[in-house]
A and B are shown apart, each in its own frame.
Chain A
Amino acid sequence: MFRYVSHILLVLFAALTLMPLYWIVTTAFQTPSVVLAFPPSLVPSPASWINFARLFNGSEILTWMSNSLVVTGTVTLSNVLLGTLAGYTLAKKVFPGRLTIFWTVISLMFIPSQLTIIPLYALIVKLDWINTYKALIVPALIMPFSIFLMKQFLQTLPTELIEAARMDGCGEWGVFQRVILPLAKPGMAVLGIFTFMGVWNDFLWPLIVINRSSMMTLQIGLNSLQNQFYTDYGLLMAGAAVSALPMIIVFLVFQPYFVRSITIGAVKG
């Protein structure tokens, strides 16, 4: 009995959870007159691309998307590379100050962004970086979590591998490039997914440093879309659908890595 009730509740809850996503797609494909009708039509019939046409003509959504791609791509690549290099150093090298540096990285991980953004904004203004990619990219080039995650991941590699490579005449950079990088790939993939999602969905920082429409990322572009088209839900849902699509594709393609990124992130240091 409990079994049946719990299964029904599971399906019901899954349906309710997916309902907003279904409603985005449904509304996006309805003609404006159907969107305005009450009671609402639960299926997009007749289906129409008109909201998407209005969206692409009336907003800079494609520019926002390419801005988001440039920023997120650069930040992700840089975090994966620098995170792996620094994580390897902290996991496998013995040098004076190693523990101090490691604990500094750990404590930075717990600093909430609100504690840094006000002076950071003043700095960006002083550098004249407002409304530039630099404002979005440079402060995020390396994040403490990236180093922590790669350190945790690389710690499990046998140190003998590194010593063997050194015997074979590999220099420091050679060890990293030929031994560590190939072995670090699964960890780098997890970190890549994690960083990509975080930066792609970031809201507060771009909201503060970007106010010119042509420089906006997708998330704050949606905010300006909402301010401009207020109750034009057909167009707004078309915007939501277009914005959700890249992340959903990334999720479906890299699903195993998503699962690992959640569980690895929760491992205690």
Chain B
Amino acid sequence: MSLYRKILKERWAYLFLLLPLLLFAVFNMLPMAATILLGFADYFPGGQPVWTGLENYAYALSDDLFWKALGITTLYTCGVVPASLLISLFLAYVIFGLKYAWAQAIFKSAFYLPVVTSGAILSLVWLWLFNPARGLLNYALSFVGAGPFMWTSDPQMALPSLMFMAIMGGHGAAIVLLTAAMGGIPSSYYEAARLDGAGPWRQYWKITLPLLRPTLLYLLVTSTIASFQVFTQVLMMTGGGPDYATTTLVYLIYTDAFEYFDFGKAAAEATLLSLSLAGIAVVQYKWLASDVEY
């Protein structure tokens, strides 16, 4: 059967895929190609693009603010992701060990509630908690003789404050995934280990943790990518300040594009961000997945 006949015979398949593919072409692929092209041009909305070669990249890479934003984003990610993973691992272990199913369900829901609450809502309430004069945090800390802290308005503390907020936020999704994966480990493994005289700590270290590796890898990659794109809290709580102390990469792209309308520079930065994200994901997979089997 010729290719033409095959295509004609399965015309319904193409019909069923037509609308999604058209929408992807217009709203995903073309804009993506345009961003990459814009990175090599000077373009302000309403004007004509002027090709400038690598000028935007040279400008972005020689801009102190870009490197500062990259450093801030990296620091944020390196602080938030490992801490969140360790906390989730601990909480998942304790919840999984609870005797009653209803108790497990209640705790999973409790940790999931902040996950369904939007970043905008959490930003509002954390600004109130962080309020230097009347906020709950400074009040609580006054009992142990600490503070008062300026939290988000102190250049030294603004970024750690945002990190603290992220670490205190929902570990719900990670906990659900980890407990599901722990439920998939055959209990015979643990019985055999017990017969060999392994205590709970040794069982965890030698059986649970190694078998959780694919799940942990997935969580590491997705949460790193999410942290690297932190935006809502920055816009609503600090506006990138004080003194650029919380200007993350996505916030920098946002201001370059939609406050200064320098689309060329912002496109170059967005391309660099995407390349970094892809690079991070590849490195993490290579580094951790070498002996993981799916």
Contact = CB atoms under 8 A, between A and B. Distances in A.
Contacts, number: 243
Contact of A108 (B28, B118, B133): B28
Nearest to B127: A226
Contact of A147 (B20, B38, B109): B20
Nearest to A171: B12
A237 B128 CA distance: 9
Given A86-B17, A114-B253, A247-B116, 8 more contacts: A24-B125, A111-B32, A118-B31, A119-B35, A201-B119, A240-B125, A243-B120, A262-B176
Interface of B: 3, 6-7, 10, 12-14, 16-17, 19-21, 23-24, 26-32, 34-35, 38, 45, 87, 90-91, 93-95, 97, 107-114, 116-129, 131, 133-134, 136, 139, 168-171, 173, 176-177, 180, 200, 215, 218, 225, 229, 231-232, 235-236, 250, 253-254, 257-258, 263, 266-267, 270-271, 273-274, 277-278, 281, 294
Interface string A37-65: 11110000000000000000000000000
B212 to A, nearest CB: 12
A17 B134 contact: no
B176 A85 contact: no
Nearest to A221: B120
Contacts of A108: 24, 28-29
A241 to B, nearest CB: 9
A7 B128 contact: no
B294 A268 contact: yes
A93 B13 contact: yes
A220 B120 contact: yes
Interface residues of A, number: 93
B160 to A, nearest CB: 17
Contact of B258 (A37, A98, A105, A208): A208
B17 A237 contact: no
A13 B30 CA distance: 46
Q: Is the interface of A mostly helix, strand, loop or mixed?
A: helix
A208 B21 CA distance: 25
Given A95-B7, A96-B3, A125 B177 contact: no
Interface in A1-58: 2-3, 6-7, 9-10, 13-14, 16-21, 23-24, 27, 36-40
B32 A21 contact: no
A122 B45 contact: yes
Contacts of B119: 201, 203, 219
A85 B231 CA distance: 34
Listed residue (B10, B118, B122) with the most chain A CB atoms within 10 angstroms of its CB: B118
A182 interface: no
Interface stretch (A135-143, A155-163, A183-191): A135-143
Given A17-B111, A18-B113, A222-B120, A118 B263 contact: yes
Given A6-B94, A266-B218, A219 B118 contact: yes
B124 A222 contact: yes
B134 A36 contact: yes
Interface in A131-180: 138-139, 141-142, 144, 147, 172-173, 176
Given A10-B91, A21-B117, A243-B120, A82 B254 contact: no
A105 B23 CA distance: 12
Contacts of A121: 257-258
Given A21-B117, A115-B35, A7 B19 contact: no
